[in-house]
Structure formats: C-alpha cells, structure tokens
Chain A
Amino acid sequence: MEGLKRVPVREQAPKVRAANFEEVCLGYNKEEAVEEAKRCLQCKKPMCSQGCPVSIDIPGFIAKIVEEDFAGAYEVLTASSSLPAVCGRVCPQETQCEGKCIRGKKGDPVSIGKLERFVADWARENGIKPKKADHANGKKVAVIGSGPAGLSCAGDLAKLGYEVTIFEALHEAGGVLTYGIPEFRLPKDAVVKPEVENVKSLGVKIETDVIIGKSVTIDELLEEEGFDAVFIGSGAGLPMFMGIPGENANGVFSANEYLTRSNLMKARLEDYATPMPVSKKAVIVGGGNVAMDAARTALRLGAESHIVYRRSEAELPARAEEVHHAKEEGVIFNLLTNPTEILTDENGWVKGIRCIRMELGEPDASGRRRPVPLEGSEFEIEADAVIMSLGTSPNPLISSTTAGLETNRKKCIVAEAENGKTSKDGVYAGGDAVTGAATVILAMEAGRAGAKGIHEFLSK
C-alpha cells in the first residue's frame, strides 16, 4: 500500500559523525519535504495539533508545503511557535504530534518534526523574519531567562506591542539551547543564534550578565525600573548527585558541567580558554536526553562511552531518536544497573564505578516499574570519568529573594498552568522553574501561557 513509509531523512553516517560535532540529521530538501507533506491526510479533526503543546496548525502548515508556499507555511508555524527551527529538532514528536498522527496506525506517522524544521530552515536561509507589532502599547515587561520559556514569552508579548527586556544570567542568550543541548543536535551559529535574533527582531532587548535575585531583585524591577509585569523562566537549577561514596573525586562531573563546558564555553575547541575533561572511558549515569547528550559528547571527544541506567530500555526517558542515534554511534548501554560507589585512585581521581544489577518490581508513583537491586550482583566498570545525569533541583536564587512568591514542597515556583500566574501580583512564571526539568516545547508552552496571562493582566 502506498504512503506507509515516511520519506527517509538524510543523516551523517554513524561512524563519521561519532568523531565530529556537526549536526547528525541533515534534514529534508525541498523535494523530499513536498513528497513527505503529501502523505498528510489533512484530517478534519487533526489529532496531531491536539498533541502539540503549543497547538500548531499542523495540517495548515503542511498544506502550504504541498503548495510549495514555504513562506506561507512559516507564517502558520510562527503564529504558534517562536522557535520552530529548535522544536523541529528537539521536540519528542513520537509522544506528541507524530504519536497522534492517524498515518501511524498503519505505517509511519507523517514526519511532522522534520517538516517543521525544513520550513524554519528555509525561512532562515531566505531571510524571512517573523512579523513585528504594528505599534507599541507603552507597557514594559521583564522576562527572566532567555531559554525556551523566556524567548517564547518575550516573542508573544513583543508581537502584542509590549516593550520586553529579557535578563540572562549567563554571558550568552538561549538558556539550555545554548549551554545544554549539543551542537550535533542543535547547531548554535546556524540555528540557535538566528532564532534568538528573530526574537530580537521583534523589538525584544536582551541584557546578559544579570542575575535576578542577586544583581537586581524582582521587586526592584517592578518598583524602581518601571516594569509593569515580570515573567520568570529561569530554568531548572542545581544538578543532583547520588550521594554515593567517591562522588567528589576528580573526574566526576554533573552532566550540566560537562555539557556547559563543551557547549557554552566551547572548551572542546583548542583555542578556547576553558579546560575540557578528556577521558578514555566515560560512564554516564542516567537515561534522559541530557544523559544521551553527555554520552554522545564524550564519544565525540574520543572516549568509550557507557550509559548506566537503573531501569530497562522501555523506561528510558530520552527521546527515541536520541537513544537510536546513541546506539548507532557506539554508545554502550548498561541497563538495569545502578552505581553504588565511585572508585578512586590514591590521587583522588576516578578509576572506576561499582554497580549493582537491578530487576523491575512493582510500579512506583511514576507508574514505571520500580527497580530493585539484585543481592550479591555487584560488579565494577573501569572508568576515568563519571558524568552524573540525574536531573536537577530548583535554584533558590529567585524564590529566596522575592517576598510573597509561593513555592511548593519541591521548591518549584507555584504558577497556574493556563496563564502562568503566581502568588505574587504582576509576577508570572513557567518552564522548568515551575515544573522541574522537562522539555523545550513544554517550556515554550508555559512561556506562551505566561504571555497570555500577562496580556490579560495588563489589559484590565
């Protein structure tokens, strides 16, 4: 039967890409995109759009691709998304739009992510920018953090005529898109910087090197700097460690540190001043996207790269494509395995990691089967670097310096999902600062919700 298979996307060969930082996926060209777009059944009640956190009119933009009206397709996309070139690359499509696609019931779902990416890349290459507001409304909004939540909130507000300033703690804008997700998955100069420029072209100002809660507080922004509302999109926060012996040894890193050195500081390049840990055999503990990013970065820097994850393959929280790519490139998966101790040499350097085998027991609170250690199954893996990728806990910088801002038991900021409203008047929040570590698209959704909430608040 025709149309069961999606148009395959070109990628760098695994062996080649395992030794470089160039983008793995090469994307569709015009012909491939049009051919794939034709597979869309243009459902009357599109399930894909319901699966999209920002409710992109997916059949709408795909129909424009079929007509080869790529500018039109970009207009449909940017009506809902501020960062289409990013989302086309890093969204977990298999559980969202593509997971709902009717084509997927019998055969492959339409390659929605790759089509989104094609349109966004085409627009960038052809110099098409999102549309700017007709007139300013004279109101000022401060956005804290220039990651996906902050950028999408700022973009939406600017389109409505607000004067928006984003405050970024680091020296470069982009948040996790810049410091976290590696070059081979999300190119910085080719994709992230132009997306940030697009938001700036809407009139948004970005002030880097400002730490809200330290350099200036939220109350000062509202009372002294003339902002009418604030959106907090400050991101996930402090990396977690396991609390096992040896964790402070030299050669043990958080994935955040490892990736920040490689991505933000470009430590992997010889002419940049920040040092990059080099290892022969790296063990990455964890099974999320960040763990895959760290494992594939270590591999590219010349290490034999091992994932150690306490549950089984089915429970890996990473995107399917990342796991698939990691395996193709030669990352070794040690599943149902949990570290118990980091082994060190006499100089305080990592020399290995002791692990115990696990089996799956009854489902836990997350609905996943709880891993249980198998008595007496301990063994050692030799390693000269251990990278902990266990998630993060909220950064207290803002909550501890903002009176009246409620946080929950997990120290995340409490905000309403539909409008980002917090317990403090005029202050809205969204993204990882509210939910704990999640995905780029969920942060974007929260940024858009916050923009909606702020617009309602300031239109009263």
Chain B
Amino acid sequence: MFKILRAEHLAENIILMDVEAKRVAKSCLPGQFIIVRLDEKGERIPLTIADYDREKGTVTIVFQPIGASTHQLAELKAGDALLDFVGPLGQPSDLITGDLEETKKKKILFVAGGVGTAPVYPQVKWLHEHGIAADVIIGSKTKSLVIMEEMMKEVAGNVYVTTDDGSYGRSGMVTKAIEDLVAEGKEYDHCVAIGPMIMMKFCCLTTKKLGIHTIVSMNPIMVDGTGMCGACRLSVGDTVKFACVDGPEFDGHLINFDEAMKRQAMYRTEEGRKLLAFQEGDTHHGGCGHCGGDK
C-alpha cells in the first residue's frame, strides 16, 4: 500500500497529492509518469509526475477528476492509502537527459494548459536547479482554475498567465499568448506544451508557423503502461510509437492529433455510464441505459 501524506485542492476541481513511494521517488525524473490503482476493482490510471522529494520518498501527483476512477481518487484524504503506485514509467524529458551545455543555449518556452501546469513544473524546476531560466505560459479557462502560479514563479524566468475569459492575466488562449510574446520581441527556439490534446494540437499549429521546435507530452489511454498492450499507440510522422515506452514526450509537429483524440474518446460512452453509476451511488437505479436497473 502507498500512503497519501498530503491531499489538497489547488483549485475547485484540481487536486494535489503527495504519495509515499520510495522506489519511484528515488529514480524518477521530470517527464515521466506513474500508474495508480485505488483498489482491487480499480483501473490503472496513468498520471504524469508533478514533483518528487528523494529525501522524503514522496511523489506528487496532480489531477482533475473526470471519470469515475479519478472522482473516486479525489475523495481520498491524507492518511488513506493507494493499493498500487508504480513507476517511473516512460522516458524523462529530452531537456533533462540531453547535453546540458546544448540545453543551456536554448531559449525555452513552456506552455501549460490547465492541469497540464503540474507536469510542466518539475521540468522548469529541474532546469532552474541547473542554471537555466525557462519562460512559462500558464493558460486556464478562468482565474479560479489557475494553479501553481507562485511555485512556478520561484523557478521560472518569466511566468505569463492567460485566461480564456480574461478574468486574470492576459486574455485569450495560450496560442494567442505565444503569438503575442513573439510579437513583443521574445525569441524562443524550443517549446514544451503540456495540456489537453486539443490545446497541444493548436499550440503546435502556432509554433510550427513561428518555426519553434515543439515537444508535447501525450496522455492516451493505457492499460499496463510498460509496453505490453499497445493501447497507447500514436502516429508520429510515418511511424507508430507507444506513448508508454517511447514517450510520453514526442515532437509535436509530427503527432497525428486528430487520430490521437479519436482514440482517447474510445470508451467515452462506457466511462460516462460508470461515472453516472459512481456519482449516484446507492441511489443509482438505471437511467444509464445499461445496467438494467430501469427495466
């Protein structure tokens, strides 16, 4: 069992947890992910690592409850335990494993969308610890959903917040912020975009136009996360890659996002049914059209 040492809301619907997982904490690097399973009947949920503390032996995860499993995870408190917490999985970010001197020459921009701010943080922090100041755009729907802004400011060069509704910081989507920054005279030659697939897709369209090499962190459906099942396969250029072992980070200009988004929606109906059943709990007597409770 893996004990939850801290559980708190970063925003209304975004939760942070520190989990005691000594082996993972000892060996993980920014860019990698873990898989968590709540209980005997739970599914394996992949989550990108948001931070880690090697001394304390903890790994931080940040997530937004979407399906039944993440809603169930969101109900857990400090002191509770997770049945399984396995990792680190996938490859660390190229910025971290690459030649440090080369990385130091780069002018790096991170683009974080919503809960995607969490996996951006350990990368920016690692670069900061190695003498590199990267700029960060944090994009969010609205002010109340902006997370980790202060933490990010401590480790980033410049942090630019933009909200879709203009309630805080700049106004508009992250793609507008990228274009505006470049128009304002900022120069970038390396971009890392992490967030919802649709946001990463449009980020890539923008950076392609601007000629900025862009890396994205893909979060497709997975089962085992160790390369065994191939559920997470993606078209990257002319090749098929498994996000779990080859990624999760890829050249965003080569990803077939439309295919990836279709694949991500593969179980939407079934997930919707399970969420409904979970939310209604004992009061669920059908209506999902599946369980037979309404017949």
Contacts and interface: CB of A to CB of B under 8 A. Distances in A.
A250 interface: yes
Given A169-B224, A214-B89, 5 more contacts: A170-B224, A237-B227, A253-B230, A275-B267, A397-B227
A208 interface: yes
Contact of B223 (A237, A260, A273): A260
Interface stretch (A23-31, A126-134, A264-272, A321-329): A264-272
Contacts of B250: none
The DSSP consensus for interface residues of chain A is: loop
Contact of B259 (A241, A243, A248, A253): A248
Contacts of A238: 227-228, 230, 242, 245
Contacts of A275: 43, 267, 270-271, 274
B84 interface: yes
A275 B68 CA distance: 11
A215 B44 contact: no
A250 B24 contact: no
B42 A273 contact: yes
Contacts of B274: 273, 275
Interface string A219-255: 0000000000000000001110101000110110110
Contacts of B96: none
Contacts of A152: none
8 contacts: A250-B262, A250-B266, A254-B231, A256-B228, A260-B224, A274-B43, A275-B270, A397-B227
Interface residues of B, number: 42
B275 to A, nearest CB: 10
B72 to A, nearest CB: 8
B88 A248 contact: no
Interface in A168-187: 169-171, 179
A257 interface: yes
Nearest to A251: B266
Nearest to A348: B262
Interface of B: 23-24, 26-27, 37, 41-44, 68-69, 83-89, 223-224, 226-231, 233-235, 240, 242, 245, 259, 262-263, 265-267, 270-271, 274, 291
A96 interface: no
B262 A209 contact: no
Contacts of B234: 248
A247 B86 CA distance: 29
Nearest to B72: A273
A211 interface: yes
A211 B259 CA distance: 30
Contact of A215 (B23, B69, B84): B23
Interface in A343-367: 347-348
Nearest to A273: B43
A330 interface: no
A395 interface: yes
A214 B230 contact: no
Contacts of A300: none
A216 interface: yes
A261 interface: yes
A215 B88 contact: yes
B229 A254 contact: yes
A273 B45 CA distance: 10
Contact of A395 (B226, B267, B291): B226
A185 B223 CA distance: 23
A171 B230 contact: no
A383 B262 CA distance: 18
B45 to A, nearest CB: 9
B41 A272 contact: yes
Contact of B41 (A210, A216, A241, A271): A271
B86 A210 contact: yes
Given A260-B228, A275-B267, A248 B291 contact: no
Contacts of B227: 237-238, 395, 397
B226 A211 contact: yes
Contacts of A396: 245
A208 B83 CA distance: 11
B14 to A, nearest CB: 21
Contact of A274 (B26, B44, B228): B44
A256 B267 contact: no
Given A210-B23, A273-B41, A397 B226 contact: yes
